[in-house]
Amino acid sequence: MITIISPAKGFNSFDYHDYNIIKKEDVSLPHFLENAKEIVGNLKSLAIDDICKLMKTNAEIGSLNHERYKGFKFDKNGIPAILAYEGMQYTAIKASDLNRSELFYANDHIKILSGLYGILSPLDSIYPYRLEMSTGLAINKTKNLYEYWNNLIFERIKNDLKSHNDKIILNLASDEYSKVVKKYLDNEATFVTCSFKAIKNNKLTTHSTISKPARGKMVNYTIKNRADSIEMIKKFNYDGFSFHSEIVSKNGKIIELIFVKM
Predicted pLDDT of residue 127 = 98
Using the predicted structure, report yes or no on whether residue 202 has a pLDDT greater than 90. Answer: no
pLDDT over 90 (residue 200):
no
Under the banding of pLDDT at 50, 70 and 90, the label for residue 59 is: very high
pLDDT at 7 over 90: yes
Q: How confident is the model at residue 207 (pLDDT cuts 50, 70, 90)?
A: confident
Is the confidence at residue 47, as pLDDT, over 90? yes
The total number of structural domains in the chain stands at: 1
Phi, psi of 139 (to 5 degrees): -130, 125
Rounded-to-integer distance, Cα 89 and Cα 220, Å: 10
pTM of the model: 0.96
Q: Tens of pLDDT along 137-184?
A: 999 999 999 999 999 999 999 999 999 988 999 999 999 999 999 999
Percent of the chain with pLDDT over 90: 89
The stretch 44-58 carries a mean pLDDT of 95
**Which domain does 38 fall in, by range?**
2-261
pLDDT average, residue stretch 194-219: 92
Contact 217, 238 (CB under 8 A): yes
Compute the distance between CA of residue 117 and CA of residue 103 in angstroms, rounded to an integer.
Answer: 20
Rounded to an integer, the average pLDDT of 49-78 is 96
Rg over CA atoms, the chain: 18
Reported residue count of the chain is 262
Q: What is the DSSP string of 13-66?
A: ---GGG--SS-GGG-B--TTHHHHHHHHHHHHTS-HHHHHHHHT--HHHHHHHH
